[in-house]
Every structure is written in C-alpha cells, then in structure tokens.
Structure 1
Amino acid sequence: MADSSADRVRVVIVDDHAMFRVGVKAELGDAVDVVGEGYDVDSAVAAIEQQQPAVVLLDVHLPGGGGVEVIRRSQAPDTRYLALSVSDAAEDVIGTIRGGARGYVTKTITGPELVDAIKRVQLGDAVFSPRLAGFVLDAFAGSIEVASVDEDLDRLSEREREVMRLIARGYAYKEVAKELFISIKTVETHMSSVLRKLQLSSRHELTKWASDRRLL
C-alpha cells in the first residue's frame, strides 16, 4: 500500500529538459511527493523557497549559473540536495558536493535506486553512484587539485562540455542526442565548436585530451 502524501518525501525536481523531468516523475511514481519543478536557477530557487521540500533533485548544469548557484541562493535551511546529472566528471562531482549537496548520482540510475537515494539523503546520508565516491575521497585526501580549473575547459559552454565528455567516451552522435535530448545536427554543431576551441582535429585526439585531464 502506498504511503499517504503526508508521509512521502517532498521533492522538487530541477532540470532544464522538460522531457527529462516528466521521465523522472514517472520513474518515481507514488514513492515520493513531487511538489515543484525548476528549469533554470531562478525558477529552481523560487520553487524551493515556496515549497520548502525535504529533497531537491538537482541537475549540475543549468541556465543561469548551475546547480551550486541554486544551493547558494535558496533560503531553505532544512532542504537537502541530491545532484542528478549526466556528468560524472571529477570536478563536477567535487564542486557540487563542496557547494552543499548531500549526494551525487548519474542519470543511468534506475527508478527504485533513485527513490532509495532520495530517502537516504532525507535521512542525512551521503549518497553517491559507486565510482563517484572515489573522486570525493581523493579530493578530500588531497590527491586531486580541484582549485586548478583548466583554461581550455573554460572556453567550452556547459552544453559543449556535456557533448565533449560523451563523445570522448565513445558515444555515437545519435547516442549523445538521445542522452541530452537534442538533435543529431545540434550534437554535430557542438562537436565542431569543441574541436575548434580546443584546437583538436579528431575524436581520437579529443579522447586523449579528456583522459589526460581526468574528465572521463
């Protein structure tokens, strides 16, 4: 028997893709109570302050400043934040945790796993997808220099970074388009821009570039 709405964890979902928000709500079903949504920093802050949810599912890359900016600006002292992102790059994971999130999971997570992660974060646990926990341990042990932001990476927009990482991991353009809810033509445009800005000439060079910077 499902919990009554009064007993379910109150959640706000923040992601700039409407289709993804719909999909997450469908996966969560009646296991939690989705009380609001946001698609950029301003709408996320407004929804969080109005609803004061127990947990915010927060995308890392958002129009208007990103997930960390949402945490910084939101006036909701009892709310906890769980990052849900396509990115599993070390600097995104560590930056988001340092920004105040209680956990970080990737969008490959299943519905039941996400429900469990939300409930654990509400109770105060720190929750990570398995390989991401190592990034955090390494960072706080001092073996990753988080403060050094790569100059080359700074040239790329947030969307270009997402495309770059997926292409560097061997995703086909069609797979990247599906993952990011954009067209194949848009993927091609972003990829051309990435190669131009980084002064690279092929996917192979891009993979090596990303690997050297621990972005894979």
Structure 2
Amino acid sequence: MARHARDHHADIFIPAVILMVIAAFTVGDIVRPAATSGLSETAMVARHTATTQAVAGIAATGARAQTAQTLAATADRLKATPVPTVDWHAPSETKAYPSITAHPKLRIEVSIAAQRVYLYDGSRLLYTMFASTGTDNSTPKGHYKIEAERGDYFYNPNERLGAHYYTSFHQHGTYLFHTVPTDAKGHYIASEAAKLGKAPGSHGCVRLTIPDAKWLMEHVKTGTAVHIY
C-alpha cells in the first residue's frame, strides 16, 4: 500500500514541478517587461533555450523514474509467476494428443528459450509439450525433418545415460526427441526430469515427458518438419 502511495505522489509531483518552472519563467517575462524588452534577440533566444532545456531535463528525469518503476513492477510480476510443476510421468496437457490423420501437415516447433515443444497445423497451435534441450546451446537450431531412426530404448555408455521412446530429427540417430534420461540400470533420473519446462539439461537432444516421447515416436511420421529456434 505504501509503495503505491509513493508512486502516485511521484506521478503528481513531476508534472507539478514542470508547471512551476514554466510559470516561473513566464511570470518573470510578465512582471519584468522592461528587463526583457531591453534584451537583444540573441539574448532572448538564449533565455528561451535555457528554459526549454530546463523543462526537458525535468521531463526526462520523470520519464526515467517512470521507466524504472515499470521495470521494477515487471520484475516483481515475473518473480511472482509460479514455475510450473511438471509431472514427467504424464502428458504435458490434459487434453488428447492431436490426430495425425486430421492434421496431415502437422509440424514441430522447439523453443529453446521457452523450453517447450509446440505442435502446429498451419498457424493453429494444437498441443504444447514441456521440454529440456541441450546445455551450452548444444541443441542445433534450424530446420530439420523427422528421420527414420526411432525405437523403445537406447543407452550411451560414454555418457552413462539412456532414454526411452526416441525419435531422430538430425544426423540419423545423433539428435533425438526422447524421454527424460535413465541411468545405467534403466532407472529414470528424477533430478534431470525436474528440468523439464525449466532449464536445458541434455547433450543436445530434446527431452520430453514419458507419454509425450512415446506418442511422438509412435505417431509422428518420418519427414515431419521440425523447426528449432
């Protein structure tokens, strides 16, 4: 409550000061006509310029103060926005996955900034999936297509990580959509799964919830367009 009161008073104070400055110079011209009438044109222009600069300076200060207040308010709102809790055992949305038959031109958009996978048909957004892309910008940006390589499980001994339900989109088995990772014993790693929708975590692949990865592997056709940005 106190913060709002101060902001309101600041909004009133800044225009009031500008008016006071203008009034001071204007009244001076009225009550001292003899002084001003004796000024040369150059001196009068200089005086007018000084007045304009003074008012502009106060206005700029007010604009900066208002901008700072706006940025602070935006930061407060972002801090107050809850980070979604992702159930990586469940689909990202409660509605059904889109029908491939009904949407033969379906395409996949991957937003690294948002950590989301979007399924589109034209300009229509059909479904949104939580994702976790590669750390250190290791997920390649660009336009790709779903490739033939896909399967139920893989394990990479060099990384000591595996995953279920993989589908290749670049370099034929190198860059994949797949589930959150598993350890050497095939157990899902909860700490890595917690990054879904929040932060990058992979070596370049796009991680998804278990049902999302399974649906994509089973239904999305080879040749489907993929755009990563």
> Shared topology, TM-score over 0.5?
no
TM-score by length of structure 1 reads 0.24
More strand by share: 2
More helix by share: 1
Structure of higher RCO (CA pairs closer than 8 Å, 6+ residues apart): 2
TM-score by length of structure 2 reads 0.23
Bigger-Rg structure (1/2): 2
